[in-house]
Every structure is written in C-alpha cells, then in structure tokens.
Structure 1
Amino acid sequence: MKRIFLTTLILMLNYLSYGQLSFTTLYTKEGKETKNIEEASYYRELSLLENTQVRVIEKYIQPNKTKLLGTFPSFKEKKFIGEKLEAYENGKIKYKELYSNDGVLIDTAYYYHPNGKLKIAYKYPYTIEKNSTKVTDTLILVYHDSLGNRHLFNGNGYAEIEYRNSTVEKGNYKEHQRIGNWTGSFMDGKYTFEESYDNGKLISGITKDSTNKEYAYDQKNFMIQPAYPGDIIAIRKFIASNYSYPREAIQNKVKGTVRVSFVVDTVGNMVEMKVDEDLGFGTGEAAIKVLKKAKKWTPGYMRGVSVRVAYSLPIRLDMSGS
C-alpha cells in the first residue's frame, strides 16, 4: 500500500513541477534523508515562490496529513523565516514558532501536547542591528500538563521541558530563572542527571549512565563543543589548501558551494561524512576525500559525558577563471 501511495504521490509532484520549480525528498522517522520508499516516514516538498522564497511542506506518508509548514529564504539558504508550524501524526498542532529574516527564533513560541492542549510557551525578546537579529533573553511564560492543569505562570512554578534531541529537564522557576534541584535524562534515557541551580546559575550536577557510573560537571563543563586543532578556521584553511579540483570541474568552470556534513564522535573522529549539496563533476567526492585527511577533533561534552555532535560545512569553489 505504501509503495502504491508513494508512486502516485511522486507522479503528482512531478506533474505539478511543470508549473513551478519543485523538489521532493523522502525522510525516515528519525529525519534522515532516504531513497528507500519502504523506510520513509514523511516527505518534504520545496516549491519556489514568486518572490524567490521557498515554501516548505512536509507530509506524513501514513496517514497523508501535513507534518510541517514553513518558508526558506531560497533553495540555497535552508533556514526557516517567518511562521513555522508542525503537527503530530494525529493532525493536532505540535508547535508554532516565528523566525526573523535571518533565521533566528523570536517573539512568542507555543508548544502543545499530542491531545491539542497547550503545554508550554516561551517569549524571546530581541533586537535587530544591521540586519542581524539578537535574542536578549528566554522567558518561560506558562506550563500545563496534558490534562490542562497549569503548573507555571509568568516565569514562576514547575515545568517539564522536552527538547527535540530527546533531552528531558524537570524543575522549578522563579522569575524566569531556574532554582533548586533539577532532574532529567538525555540521549533517549541512556543518561540521567541531577543538578542544582541558584537564581539561574548552574552550581553543580551529576550524570549517571546505565551502570550507575557518575560524571560530575558544573557551569564550566556543562556543555563543551568539539574542537578542531586550531579551531574551525584551521579546518577551513586545511580544506582550502588541500582540496583537489577535479579535472571535469575545471573544464566546466564550476562555481558555487559544496556542502558536506559529518559527525564528530565521542572520541573525536569524523564519521558519517556525506555530501548534502553537490556541484557535480566530482566536486562532492573531492570534498569527502579532503575531509578524510583532516586531523582528529577533541570530542564534545554534555553534562560531563562525551557526545556525538553533527556539523555542516560549506566549501566554496570558483573555477570560472580557470
């Protein structure tokens, strides 16, 4: 049934694309791009609008209901601007967010339980200087449980916060600041933690794994990003100096951006390298080849535990003058 539905879907989208520029991609439930119809959970359609912006529509395959609505500035700039809506598979709204013209989450964001009841709302005050948006604070406005009972109002009370990376945090707020003891879990429950706050400042915390091994942390090492020797500028210079331009790309005077993604694993290795945006003529393969020659990273840490961190890296090429 899924194969028949998707075949019909793809035929319809190809037909629509005659009237407008449109691209459709399949994704697994985990959000990974796939070409396998059987493992696809939803699809994303990108359609060019009259003002060069791109309409983003995602739909669940089974049932055929809208998953997400939003807008990109262009096909190259895949960041959301304006209103972004996402829904659960049952059709109930999951969240409503608003993004600035440079892709920053601003104003008021609303998140809902699967039964449609409001769960939590945040306020993101912001300023704009020289077309750059800066959020000045994060204010928690309300928190309700799934029955509709209110536990927090205007920054005061108890809340249970669930992030898109499966992290769960539970504790109390006073005047929008975390106070007292907080508990939670991350990495799909693989790790649990207890931590203490004083007027919004993390004092100390302990993470435990499935064997009850403990990892201590505080404000300084609560969250540490992976580090490349010499920082991100060094890896950009390394790529610029060692990228080998394919002969076909030179002959065709290719110009543009190749975008690659990879994961820095828990010991600092670059793994799961792939080309997200390609210019053809072997430019993507050459990008992966040079990345494999790069040095090892210092891994990232979250609450005292080394974690995998995903990166996306643009590589700008210009062979038009060759």
Structure 2
Amino acid sequence: MKYSFFNINKCIVYFILLFFAIPTKAQETIVTYMKKNGGYTANKDSADYTNILRLIPNEAGVHELNEYYPNGNLKRHGWVKTTDPKRLYFEGPLDTYYDNGSLESSTTYVNNKLADTVKRYYNNGILKENRIYFNLTEAPNEFLSTDMNSRLIYYADSTGTVQIKDGHGKVELKNGQDVERGSYSGGLRTGYWEGSFIKSKYQFEEWYENGVLTKGTTTDSLGKKHPYEQREIQPEYKGGIPKLMMFIAQNYEFPNEALKAQVNGQVMISFVIDTTGVPVDLKIISDLGYGTGQKGIDVVKKAKEWIPGYRRGIPVRVQYFIPIRLNSHPAPNKS
C-alpha cells in the first residue's frame, strides 16, 4: 500500500537543524537535543547542542530562543514567530557565538529572511565584515551569492587589517585552502577576480560589472578550460520538485508493521547528489520506526533523474535533506 506525503523541502547547506521536543513540567519551554549531522536525540549526553524555546511570547508576539554548546556557553540567541521547534521562523535580532563565548555574528530577520545590517566576527573578537541587505533574502549558503541582495561595506582580515572600507577596496577572501582576490566598488564586486576552490584543485578567473558576473573560466589540474556564466548552479530534479514529490508519493512503500501500528509523522532522509546526478550517501536522519526510514532511503535511491550542480563550471557534490510526511490512515474517498 502506498501513501502520499505532504511536504518536501530541499536545503544546499551542509547542516540542517532538526529537533526533538521535550516539554518541561511547567510547559513554559520546549527543550531540544540536537546532533551536528541534522538529527536529534532524547538523551542530553549524546547531544551536540541544546535548544530551549520559550512558549510564552514577549510584547511583540515572538518567542525567545536560546541554544547552548555542551560546555554551557551560549551558541545562539534570537526570536521566532512560532512555537514549533521543527520549523523555526526567525523574526528580529539573532546573535550567534563561538564555543569560546566570543560573538560570531549579529543579524536581523524580517519574516524569516535576512535584513538590514549583518556583522560577522573572527573568534578572536575582531570584526570581519559588515554587510547591508537591501532586499530580504534567505540565509545565504554556498549556492546563493550574497552580493545579489546586499552590499559589502567593511572587511578586515583576522589581524584587523582593513581591506574594504565604505564599500571600496581590494580584498583577499580565504576559506581554508581556497581564496578569492578582487576589488569592490560601491559594495559590489567589480573588474577582474581570480582564485582557487575545492582545496585549490581548480583555478578561476572572473570579470564583474556592478556586481554581476559577465564571464568566467576555470582551469582544472590538467589545464583544461571550463567557461561559465554563473558561479553556482543548483542540482535539479528533471521536471522540478513537483515531479519529485509525485515520484516519492507514488513509490514510497508503507511498511506493513507501520500500518498496523498506525504510525504518523515525518521521516527525514539526507543524501548527496554526486557529480553525475546520482543520489548517494543516503542516511536516515529521523524515522518513525517499523522500517519507515529504510523505505525512505529505498524510494530516494530510485529517484535518479537529477542534473548535477555546478560551481564555476565544475560539477560538484551537493547534500540534500528530504522530509517525507507519512499518514497511516488512507485518504477519504472524494466521491
């Protein structure tokens, strides 16, 4: 017997926050024990983070959220619109911290989207960057260029040496072994940029006009050139997400034992779309028991109609998370 699911979301980030809610006796807060891999646990000792959501709203109608490292230091403090710990909807200021207690970022959200001024710091306390968002945007990730909806006003290296001031200057942006070098004008990338990515395996050259990429070329380790016109292209299921939703709805096999137990709820599966467009590295992030998680893996394995993602003209591996909502009760007969 097969049942449809109600919701599917995709995320191009390497960590997603899921929650296991444990109401306190006074019902004033919801305590969530979280894992780094996006899972959750009922055991505090096995958790990587502890998240506490206050059920009573403040005068503005939003709920206080505090998240803690195992050492007791604050990891994140902010405000959300709902009391559903599985779907945090941010509103207002949100601050994040390093595990040494030092401020990592100071942001503001409007309707769950970044807005106004965003400040980020190094773990030694030095201000790293100041960026102003003029269009509301989802929290940026590696497949979303922040330059599209913002202006970089200030940037300094970890020693405090200022490279961008009042939106102008030359900058060297480091990320592990990778680096990008170029100029900003009016808070936007301009002119010639060059650098490396994927642990310096690939070298690139790019040209910008008013923050818009006009052309780019990546050179691989064999000297082959890969031209591109977009820095990042997300993986795509052929036919789009609606077709993927339909495929899973038609092919998920509800385990008999789960049907007998009248199981209802959400199964979460993580997987990676590899450079050929095939889903690999499938893992159960959360399930409902009775084999529901394994059936989720089975159906995602069958959904092979993917176009891979690209970064600067090079196919790359991208991780996804898919929630599959199950209902053990058959849908009512519309007739």
Normalising by the smaller structure, the TM-score range is 0.7 to 0.9
Secondary structure in 2 matching 1:125: strand
Code of the residue aligned with 1:176 in structure 2: it is: G
Alignment partners' CA distance in 1, 2:273 and 2:330: 35
Alignment partners' CA distance in 2, 1:83 and 1:236: 34
With normalisation by structure 1, the TM-score equals 0.76
Is 1:305 matched with 2:314?
yes
Residue segments in structure 2 that go unaligned for 5+ positions in a row? 1-21, 58-62, 138-145
Q: Tell me which of 156, 169, 174 is aligned to 1:144.
A: 156
Is 1:317 matched with 2:326?
yes
Aligned position for 2:223: 213
Is 1:107 matched with 2:116?
yes
Aligned 1:1-322 pairs, distance under 5 A: 21-27=30-36, 43-51=48-56, 55-59=65-69, 65-70=73-78, 73=82, 74-78=84-88, 80-101=90-111, 103-126=112-135, 137-161=149-173, 168-209=179-220, 211-219=221-229, 221-321=230-330
Answer whether contact 2:64 2:77 (CA < 8 A) is retained: no
Alignment partners' CA distance in 2, 1:81 and 1:166: 35
Code of the residue aligned with 2:158 in structure 1: it is: S
With normalisation by structure 2, the TM-score equals 0.73
The CA deviation at 1:212 is 4.8
- In terms of mean alpha carbon deviation, does 139-148 or 80-89 score higher? 80-89
Secondary structure in 2 matching 1:235: helix
Code of the residue aligned with 1:197 in structure 2: it is: Y
Answer whether contact 1:204 1:216 (CA < 8 A) is retained: no
The CA deviation at 1:81 is 4.6
Secondary structure in 1 matching 2:237: coil
Alignment partners' CA distance in 2, 1:82 and 1:186: 34
Answer whether contact 1:57 1:70 (CA < 8 A) is retained: no
The CA deviation at 1:258 is 2.2
Secondary structure in 1 matching 2:320: strand
Code of the residue aligned with 1:262 in structure 2: it is: F
Alignment partners' CA distance in 1, 2:64 and 2:225: 45
Code of the residue aligned with 2:187 in structure 1: it is: H
Residue segments in structure 1 that go unaligned for 5+ positions in a row? 1-14, 129-134
Code of the residue aligned with 1:228 in structure 2: it is: Y
| Structure 1 residues 80 and 260: CA distance shift in structure 2, 3 A | farther
Secondary structure in 2 matching 1:292: helix
| Structure 1 residues 264 and 140: CA distance shift in structure 2, 3 A | same
The number of residues matched between the two structures is 289
The CA deviation at 1:261 is 1.7
Aligned position for 2:13: none
Answer whether contact 1:110 1:118 (CA < 8 A) is retained: yes
